[in-house]
Structure 1
Amino acid sequence: MASFFQQQLNLEELEYTNIARVCGHHRNGYLLHTIQGTLTLHANPALPEMTLGDWLLLDQQQHFVRLLERKSLFKRKAAGTKVTEQLIAANVDTLFIVCSLNQDFNLSRIERYLALAHEAAVTPVVVLTKADLCAAAAEKCQAVQALDPFLAVASVNALDQDNCAALLSWCGTGQTLSLLGSSGVGKSTLVNSLLGHDIQKTAAIREDDSKGRHTTTARTMHFLPSGAVLIDTPGMRELQLAECETGVRRTFADIEQLAQQCRFSDCQHQSEPGCAIQQAISSGALEPRRLSNYQKLLAEQARNSASLQQLHAQDRQFGRMVKTLSAASRKLKKGY
């Protein structure tokens, strides 16, 4: 357990509580990993919402005491039209953004995952797979690197354990890693190679569109031989950003810097005179696609954030109403 979490414990907790980590989440509760082994913490309305990677304290009877402050948290707006927030993984040190180099390759999707990593202050590593199915693998690798000269980019053959050894520098003892990516990009194969044996089910890609089949159906935690912890997640067909403005602006730092050079402080980067961003596009220094995705992600996270904040406000109002009614009910009972 890292010092970040140990420093949150007082002397009494160090002596009388047990430390546990969430390694599974099911309908009936949470699966916890402890020094003594694994156990189930049954679902209870009084429990805070938790996710894989969370650290918590249990008393001597293995009852929940409290959730420790998180070092990092991945979350998204729930898929579809529901205005709810979904937790993905907590206390991650490095995010492996897995993307295949075949027809599923998408720079805008990679930028979306980068925004998520930067918002959580987690180190992103773009892992490119299936180079054997792509005739332009080198060009696509260069395109990813062009997103950020300091971005870590690794091209691997997920089926080859020796080839995947390039990722081991991020898999040191005590490190927590997470895999995110679309369905069928080779995450399960990569997990098997990092573990050194097959534990995740895999499937071949479809021949008609080069897309992989969805095999991972639940978030899982694995313990690597190197001493690292690996959290695998099901492929995400939809990753809606919310409360992620800092992450988006960090991902598009080049555009943010250009915007400061525009003639007008409220420049919309369309057809305004003296727009440094449009000048960069005209000169070929900036892709129109990148500006479009920057504006799209900023607008999306603002819209989703506003919806979630409204929901949180409604929840708080409902909670206050329940407390008021409960207090009034107790007074009535005492009066009789």
Structure 2
Amino acid sequence: MVRDYSAFLPGAAPARRERTVLERLGWGPAFARQIDVDALTETPPVRVVAVHRSGLQVAGDGIDEAIPPGPEATVGDWLLFDRVRPRSSRVLERKSLIKRRAPGTGRDVQLIAANIDTVFVVTSCNQDFNVARLERYVALAFDAGIEPVIVLTKADLTEDPAPYVEEARKVSDRMPVVPLDARGEEPPEALAEWCKPGWTVAFLGSSGVGKSTLTNALLGTQAIATQGIREDDARGQHTTTRRELHATPGGCLVLDTPGMRELQLTDAATGIADVFEDIAALAARCRFADCRHETEPDCAILAAIEDDSLDPARLARWRKLQAEDAFNSASLAERREKDRAFGKLVRGAMKAKLDRKR
């Protein structure tokens, strides 16, 4: 059966109609512009809706199946599905990509999610609240070009959530902060502004902060298992064990993710600069362009510390993230250079072999 995908190509005339399967999966002009009608019919578009250890679960128009590992893809990616050689399915250019340095002693990069429109950075109004962790998540979102929203759960369990809201707003003035009770009826209404039909949102945060509870609230079900927190330290255990997209009744796609105990930034200098734009603005006023903000004369950052307009703890966190990102990004750049050198070596060897045959 040949399917008609012409409505998804650039320039297609808008019409009042029921949203198609692909549109309900988040398909739009950003992806349609990358392909032509022939490619659409020969290799139909599918979206990665879940990542398993054994491979990827993809869904499309009349397609819902598992494919083996092969494409360098993550949940949320769009593929041009090659039925004969699924490992060769092409990944379409992404609107956004969330990544981190993979856990462990190596310097590999782990892809977390692609084509996300809004990231809900979730934390609780209890001992789990940590400004440094929030800054990391928000930098991750900014660097990916994704709109972040900080969601403060368990607001109903504290006498006054205002101090938590105030501290969260200090992370950046470029995003909203939403306190709520994840277990009540608040989430669908409080988060409705960002949960639009065809939109893809993701909940990120540590274990036990209520990500799965929020996902269930948006889905209107209890399909995702949840667990309580330990009373002694307000820490949670992993409930979600895989990254998977879920469709809400309103047409939004929601990604629930496992809690991340380790979030090391890599190749995220832009996101860090966006979170700490107040420090970047001060640094631009220093006398020396290479000022290290330690003992140099006419250092605007040191002056801000002196007059209490800049918190020394925030400066320390900025330094730490910059150093971490520089270290991890340098390792990434070295690997890329080695890959290029190896590729050049292989091409040279192949050329020499061909020359000998002539």
What is the TM-score normalised by the length of structure 1? 0.92
Q: Distance in 2 between matches of 1:289 and 1:164?
A: 36
Q: What pairs with 1:220-239 in structure 2 (closer than 5 Å)?
A: 220-239=244-263
Paired residues, what number?
331
Q: Does 1:273 align with 2:297?
A: yes
Quote the residue 2:68 is aligned against: 42
Quote the residue 1:54 is aligned against: 77
Cα distance 1:327–1:170, how it changes in 2: closer, same or farther (>3 A)? same
Cα distance 1:289–1:136, how it changes in 2: closer, same or farther (>3 A)? farther
Give the conservation status (yes or no) of the 8 Å contact 1:161–1:194: no
Stretches of structure 1 that go unaligned for 5 or more consecutive residues are none
1:204 to 211, 214, 228: 228
Q: Over residues 208-264 of structure 1, what are the superposed CA-to-partner deviations in whole Å (9 max), with x where a residue is unaligned?
A: 111122211111111111111111111011111111111111111111111122232
CA drift of 1:113 comes to: 0.8
CA drift of 1:323 comes to: 4.8
Q: Does 1:30 align with 2:56?
A: yes
Quote the residue 1:108 is aligned against: 132
Secondary structure of 1:190's match?
helix
Q: Which amino acid aligns with 1:130?
A: K
Q: Distance in 1 between matches of 2:159 and 2:311?
A: 23
Q: Distance in 1 between matches of 2:280 and 2:195?
A: 32
Q: Distance in 2 between matches of 1:237 and 1:217?
A: 13
Q: Which amino acid aligns with 1:56?
A: L
CA drift of 1:163 comes to: 4.4
Q: Which amino acid aligns with 1:153?
A: V
1:149 to 143, 153, 173: 173
Cα distance 1:267–1:135, how it changes in 2: closer, same or farther (>3 A)? farther
Q: Distance in 2 between matches of 1:144 and 1:95?
A: 15
Give the RMSD, CA atoms, in angstroms: 2.1
Q: Does 1:70 align with 2:94?
A: yes
Q: Percent identity?
A: 46
Q: Does 1:130 align with 2:154?
A: yes
CA drift of 1:330 comes to: 7.2
Stretches of structure 2 that go unaligned for 5 or more consecutive residues are 1-26
Secondary structure of 2:49's match?
strand
Deviates most, 318-327 or 30-39 = 318-327
Q: Distance in 2 between matches of 1:11 and 1:163?
A: 40
Q: Over residues 176-214 of structure 1, what are the superposed CA-to-partner deviations in whole Å (9 max), with x where a residue is unaligned?
A: 111111111111111111111111111111111111222
Give the conservation status (yes or no) of the 8 Å contact 1:77–1:304: yes
Q: Distance in 2 between matches of 1:107 and 1:136?
A: 18
Cα distance 1:265–1:331, how it changes in 2: closer, same or farther (>3 A)? closer
Quote the residue 2:144 is aligned against: 120
Give the conservation status (yes or no) of the 8 Å contact 1:175–1:228: yes
CA drift of 1:104 comes to: 0.9
Q: Which amino acid aligns with 1:229?
A: L
Q: Over residues 71-108 of structure 1, what are the superposed CA-to-partner deviations in whole Å (9 max), with x where a residue is unaligned?
A: 11011111121121100000111011011110011111
